[in-house]
Amino acid sequence: MSAAAAIHLCEVGKTYPGRELSLRGTKLETQGPVLWVRNAARAVRLTGEAAPPVRALERVSLTVAPGEVLGVLGPNGSGKTTLIKILAGLIRPSEGVGTVAGWPLSQAGVIRRHVAYVSTTGWMGLEWALTAEENLRFFAELSGMPSRRARERTRAALAALDLTADAAKLSGELSNGMRQRLLMARALLWHTPVVLLDEPFVGLDPDHRRQVRDLIRGLPREGQTVVVSDHQADVVEAVADRVLVLEAGRVQAMGTPRELVRPLAGLSVLEVVTEMAATPAAPPPPIVHHVEWQARPGPMGRMAWRLTVETGDTAFSAVLAWLDTAGGRIIEVEERRPGLRDVLPEASAHRVESA
């Protein structure tokens, strides 16, 4: 067992096998023979076909030092949760080797005893018939912690996550944000060498987001290594020493937030909101390096634009002139310095190529 790195992976990949599609969600209409035949044929096709394999993670290599906070950033479907689950010993990689807390990935059962794992998926492991306090004590004692220590650690964890006043509430009576904090509290019960947090900020209000952020930043002082994943760059940037950027299961970049943003030095980002406007027919001016836009819900046909442009006196007016060619009107404009969120394009955004 090696103590040189808290986490070490070498070309780890994961492929999920294709599964036979089922009848779930298929509605067999009976209002007319044509509808019935059409849906019956669709049902036969579904039960006779298999979905292709899904390549979730592609040859990921990384090393995380003891006491480091590693952020994993990427859009939904980029492989973040798959990576976290491999590190937690919950799923096995299809190929590659590595160690977590000094133990090889092949010894998943041992790894699970040396990591704390928090996920919002299905409010993992909460017992709905128990109160918040009972949930923590139940989990602690189920994991082999002596009763007295379980009570002490439970009270401390509830206090750390601002849940003392809600300790007697049943899980079903807690808000989503409270349940998320309860899962975080559970991760504090055991002082494991590695803490894995899969989107821990989901459902939290701004005050509790800051509280959880400060808590994560404090864990390395207890000698723990932390891996925290999210699709929001500002969340990752606020807590991480280094950031791993994933897209479609592949490593796109890795480094400190400052290192990742460095290639955007000398550029500015314009955030623009247009109303009742189309996409300009002409390509953007040469000073524009990157353009994304997303339609906003609502009746006014609003679109939110993010443009990375060369910093200069003419950039602002040139971009606005280009957007004016699409008609409609510009209702919001904001200029800012590039940040980590500008490193990885949003998965749901449309791109416009520069001239």
Instruction: Map tokens 């004692």 to a residue.
Output: 141
**Is the separation of the CB atoms in 116 and 194 below 8 Å?**
yes
* CATH class of the domain comprising 58-261: alpha beta
The CATH code of the domain at 264-352 is 3.30.70
- Regarding predicted confidence, which is higher, 337 or 39? 337
30: alpha, beta or left, given left = phi > 0 and alpha = psi -120 to 50?
Answer: alpha
Domain boundaries along the sequence of the chain: 9-48, 58-261, 264-352
Residue 305 confidence (pLDDT): 93
Q: What is the band of 346 on the pLDDT scale with cuts at 50, 70, 90?
A: low
Residue 278 confidence (pLDDT): 87
Q: What DSSP letter does each residue of 175-186 carry, written as one string?
A: -HHHHHHHHHHH
Neighbours of 201 (CB within 10 A): 23
Give burial (CB, 10 Å; 0-12/13-18/19+) of 69.
buried
CA 48 to chain centre: 34
b/e per residue, 264-303, with b = 16+ CB within 10 A? beebbbbebbbeebeebeeebbebbebbbbeeeeeeeebb
Task: Encode pLDDT of 22-77 as tens digits.
Answer: 544 444 444 455 555 556 665 555 555 567 888 999 999 999 999 999 999 988 88
Q: What is the band of 21 on the pLDDT scale with cuts at 50, 70, 90?
A: low
Neighbours of 335 (CB within 10 A): 15
* Rounded Cα–Cα distance for residues 82 and 93 (Å): 9
Identity of the residue numbered 72? V
